[in-house]
Amino acid sequence: MKFQKEKNNKSNIEEGIVKVILFIMALSSVISLGLITFFVFNEGLPFMINYGITDFIFGTTWNPTDQVYGIFPMIVGSVIVTVLAMLIGAPIGIAVAVYLVEIAPRRVAKIVKPAIQLLEGIPSVVIGLFGMVVIIDLLRRISRGPLSEYLPAGYQTGYSVLAGVLILAIMILPTIISISADSIRAVPQEYKEGSYAMGATKWQTIFRVVVPAAKSGILAAVILGVGRAIGETMAIIMVVGNSVQIPIPGWETLFAPVRTLTGNIALEMGYAGPEHRQALFATGIILFIFIIIINSLTLLLRRRRT
Amino acid sequence: MVEVKPNHLIKVKRNQVFAFTMLSLAAALTVLILLAIVIYVMSQGLSVISMEFLLDSPKSMGAEGGIYPAIVGTIYLVGLVILIAAPIGVGTAIYLNEYMPDGRFKSVLRFATELLAAIPSIVHGMFGFLFFVIALGDYTGGWSILSGALTGVVMILPIIIRASEEALRSVSNNLKEGSLALGTTRWYTIKKIVLPLAIPGITTSIILAIGRVIGETAAFLLTLGGSLLLATTVFDGARTLALHLYLVAMETGNTEMAFGTGAVLIVLILIINLAATGLFKLLVRRFSA
Amino acid sequence: MTNQKESNAIIEIEDLDFYYNQTKALKNVSLDINKNEVFAFIGPSGCGKTTLLRVLNRMNDLIPKTRVVGKVQIEGHDIYDPNVDVVQLRKSVGTVFQKPNPFPISIFDNVAYGPKAHGIKNKKELMEIVEESLRQAALWDEVKDRLNDSATGLSGGQQQRLCIARVMAVKPEIILMDEPTSALDPIATLKVEELINELKQNYTVVIVTHNMEQAARVSDKTALFLNGSIIETNETNQLFTNPKEQETEDYITGKFG
Ligand SMILES: Nc1ncnc2c1ncn2[C@@H]1O[C@H](COP(=O)(O)OP(=O)(O)OP(=O)(O)O)[C@@H](O)[C@H]1O
Ligand SMILES: [Mg+2]
């Protein structure tokens, strides 16, 4: 028969082999994700259950030598630093995105865009080192100078929530800018023209039409920024002081040294004994759950958009 | 027509000027922060950099001496990661984009890729530590370049997959159909038409992935072992420049030496960024000329 | 099995329904197309002409969630039989697309693309095929001095003739053309139409067109489509001068479409 498949046709065999190989490759990400989930949970979950989930999550003392593993201070540390960093980074990032897409003259955009790309590429340890020297020094001067009588001694080293917040705000900027810029760029031209036709100024159009239309994309950018901030490790370790304590509530919090979930893992994994290591993996689980929640949120957002 | 009061107009105008000023300031601030970091690190670091710094071994935990082993470690690690991750990543992208029908399974694969990208690198490091360093320690050499590289592969796979998919998607359907309609197999069409046209985007993604590996620390802190000795095989422990910077800054407190390493890193990242855009333009020109 | 009356038919379509997902784009289509005939599909936009054309070399397989019901035979072989190799089928049934789609490689490589894919490696042989195909497509004289230039540098009409040459280099028996001149200027259109007239010596040509004059100029037979069904099939001059159906008359007199 004329168009019959020939089993031993060379190109058909090649096609078949390639397809199988590519399929196996395509499984790599699911397999990796499966392995990561399995290993992290397998190591951490039994410990967490044995120790007591509430004791683990809400315990305020972390003292591996005495087998006390409460990670509440680290959760507080991660949350405070992340939330404050978002409060600074998100508005600035969105503003830059709006500026880039809607306002910047081409020549300026040509400088700003690569700059943002470069900022994204700078290793976090380099930013951490910068923070450790420049920002810490500045904060130390402030806390030992004008603020010294209001702050406890332990809050005057410069290593603090505020240092972490500033560093993180810088680090999430590229993420927020590039994702919001994409969604702002995707706003249909007709929307804007409609607004101009009604006599609105450029700013009114941006504020009342463009940004609302790009809202869900901007929100996704912010959520991804949160994920990035919660997961950041090295730069944070270098500037927050890493002491396990819940900061004094109030403005003093800004100057409190804290430890984050990621920092806890990175600092102690190297020398942890078996049980201690399990406790660190349990910390990883908490981090993991944060990330899953955050990503499900973005997924929901995208569903709603389409 | 609604009557417009003149001072309302002035107010609107003033609002716009104010808003635009604020937005411009935000952009200026971002660029300034970048400049501040780059210039500060370079000015602190350049004075340390010399031939000896680049080619000598570190002394007293890196507080003195050079960074040669860290340079070698970085090269080994980056090379190995890309060697493994690039074919798998590009292959995955090809399968998802060119072969796999839309459906539940495809969404699962895409979602897995996205989650993998969202996992903090420290978690990748924990996994790598448990799986590659400990469970597979007999084969990987425990803390070693190989363990680090495999961890790095898992970490950058999503980056390469996503960027390659985008590059593949940008190849016009008309050309693919044109090739298939001539009685060619899918794979032939991919080899001859799709890949050549997607190469610029794929190359860029790989270069950016290199940048990511160079800049990564957390995952390698738990898998590379941080050895100060010069690695000779992939089963040896090692440290990368970024890891070296961290360990020197935190453990020796010698920030001057750390800045030296930082300056080297910044130069590397600059080169990579330039290469990514430059090569992209070059490749695009070659295939469409 | 084959009916004596239809023995000359190279393409036989019987009770064909075609679905995009749930929407039925072709309804109960039956049609015979004879060897060495130029057959035109006309009809208003969205009536299913392209869909049917793409059924004939199974290009619709590339669109997810499509479904074919009914029978399509080419040279007596059911092309939707599970044992059919679409690659072999497409070698015999070539396509010229609406928008010229030369590959962004040299003119020579464009024409040699199919033969190379099918295993011809010999340089001399390839050169011969390229020259012959370009001559058949009436493009040789215009490009013979710049075969190594990129094909994307050609004019629209030249690009379309290059795509025709590219198809002919594979030596198909049937050539499908989907509005091959809609992106071309009148002079380039004329050249392609002359070419189609030449082609029917050796090929069977199925052409989709919006332009009734064009159908009248190039085709032997014409089928009029409306909403996924064939309203009327006839010798082209019959169909245009003496339509049997009211709808055909309405269409050709411009009452709708
Ligand atoms: N890929 C597709 N998915 C879903 N529906 C489609 C697809 N392609 C075509 N259709 C629908 O099938 C019907 C027939 O489309 P087809 O492209 O065959 O029309 P046509 O006669 O070629 O029109 P035109 O003259 O505009 O090219 C139309 O209603 C169209 O909307
Ligand atoms: Mg059509």
pLDDT at B2: 58
Residue with the bigger pLDDT between A81 and A12: it is A81
Task: Encode pLDDT of A52-67 as tens digits.
Answer: 999 999 999 999 999 9
Contact call for A4 and C88, based on CB within 8 A: yes
Q: Which of C17, C22, C23, C24 to mutate to test the pocket of ligand 1 (most atoms within 8 A of CB)?
A: C23
CA dihedral B235, A43, A261, B29 (to 10 degrees): 50
Task: Encode pLDDT of B38-77 as tens digits.
Answer: 999 999 999 888 888 888 888 877 777 888 999 999 999 9
Task: Encode pLDDT of B109-127 as tens digits.
Answer: 988 998 899 999 999 999 9
Atom number in ligand 1 closest to CA C208: 22
CB atoms within 10 A of CB A5: 15
| Ligand showing the shortest atom-to-Cα distance for residue C43 | 1
Those residues whose beta carbon sits under 5 angstroms from the ion ligand 2 are C 50
Contact call for C85 and A5, based on CB within 8 A: yes
pLDDT band of residue A77 (cuts 50, 70, 90) is very high
Taking Cα atoms as reference points, which of C163, A198, A226 lies closest to residue B12?
A198
For B153, which residue in chain A has the nearest alpha carbon? Answer: A32
Q: What is the mean pLDDT of chain B?
A: 90
The neighbouring-strand residues paired with C68 are: C18
Structure-token pair, residue C178: 């989907």
User: What residues in A contact B265, CB-CB < 8 Å?
Assistant: 122-123, 125-126
Section A22-32 average pLDDT: 94
Residues contacting ligand 1 via CB (< 6 Å): C 20, 25, 43, 45-51, 63, 210
pLDDT of B180 higher than 70: yes
pLDDT of B153 higher than 60: yes
Section B165-178 average pLDDT: 93
**Reported pTM:** 0.89
Mutate to test the interface with B, among C87, C110, C150 (most CBs of B within 10 A): C87
Structure-token pair, residue A236: 């944070």
| Ligand showing the shortest atom-to-Cα distance for residue C49 | 1
- Domain boundaries, given as residue ranges, for chain B: 6-46, 52-288
- Domain boundaries, given as residue ranges, for chain C: 9-103+174-252
pLDDT at C192: 84
Question: Domain spanning B52-288 has what CATH number?
Answer: 1.10.3720.10
Q: Which of C47, C62, C67 to mutate to test the pocket of ligand 1 (most atoms within 8 A of CB)?
A: C47
pLDDT at C5: 47
Q: Which amino acid is at B258?
A: A
Nearest CA to ligand 1 atom 19: C46
User: What residues in B contact C89, CB-CB < 8 Å?
Assistant: 183
| Ligand showing the shortest atom-to-Cα distance for residue C41 | 1
pLDDT at C4: 45
Question: Domain spanning C9-103+174-252 has what CATH number?
Answer: 3.40.50.300
CB atoms within 10 A of CB B31: 17
Interatomic CA distance for residues A101 and A210, integer angstroms:
11
* B281, burial (CB in 10 Å: exposed 0-12, middle 13-18, buried 19+): exposed
User: What residues in A contact B273, CB-CB < 8 Å?
Assistant: 114, 117-118, 121
Nearest CA to ligand 1 atom 6: C20
In this prediction the ipTM stands at 0.91
Give the closest-approach CA distance of C88 to chain A in angstroms.
Answer: 5
Residue A71 and residue A56 in contact, taking contact as beta carbons nearer than 8 Å: yes
For A4, which residue in chain C has the nearest alpha carbon? Answer: C84
Task: Encode pLDDT of B228-286 as tens digits.
Answer: 888 888 899 899 999 999 999 998 888 888 999 999 999 999 999 888 888 888 887 77
Chain A positions touching chain C (beta carbons under 8 Å): 1-6, 9-12
Nearest CA to ligand 1 atom 9: C51
Atom number in ligand 1 closest to CA C51: 18
Taking Cα atoms as reference points, which of A36, A244, C17, A232 lies closest to residue B124?
A36
What percent of chain A is modeled with pLDDT above 70? 98
User: Which of C77, C84, C119 is opposite residue A5, by nearest beta carbon?
Assistant: C84
Which of A23-27, A140-144, A295-299, C195-199 is most confident?
A23-27
Section A119-148 average pLDDT: 92
Interatomic CA distance for residues C130 and C140, integer angstroms:
9
Contact call for A4 and C83, based on CB within 8 A: yes
| Ligand showing the shortest atom-to-Cα distance for residue C225 | 1
C114 shares contact with chain B (CB less than 8 Å):
yes
For C89, which residue in chain A has the nearest alpha carbon? Answer: A3
**pLDDT tens by residue, chain C, 257 residues:** 444 444 688 999 999 999 999 899 999 999 999 999 999 999 998 999 999 999 999 999 988 889 999 999 999 899 999 888 999 999 999 999 988 999 999 999 999 999 999 989 999 999 999 999 999 888 899 999 999 999 999 998 899 999 999 999 999 999 999 988 887 788 888 888 988 988 888 899 999 998 888 999 999 999 999 999 999 999 998 888 888 888 888 888 877 65
Contact call for B222 and A14, based on CB within 8 A: no
Mutate to test the interface with C, among A2, A7, A11 (most CBs of C within 10 A): A2
User: What residues in B contact A36, CB-CB < 8 Å?
Assistant: 116, 119, 123-124, 127, 154
The neighbouring-strand residues paired with C13 are: C31, C72
Task: Find the helix packing angle between B104-118 and A215-231, rounded to 10°.
Answer: 50
User: What residues in C contact B288, CB-CB < 8 Å?
Assistant: 104, 150, 152
pLDDT band of residue B287 (cuts 50, 70, 90) is low
For B172, which residue in chain C has the nearest alpha carbon? Answer: C101
Chains with 3 or more CB pairs closer than 8 angstroms to B? A, C
Distance from Cα A302 to the centre of ligand 2, integer Å: 33
Interatomic CA distance for residues A237 and A127, integer angstroms:
11
CA A21 to chain centre: 34
Any residues with CB less than 8 A from the CB of B208 and at least 6 apart, and which? A121, B159, B163, B272, B276
A38 shares contact with chain B (CB less than 8 Å):
no
Interatomic CA distance for residues C12 and C26, integer angstroms:
15
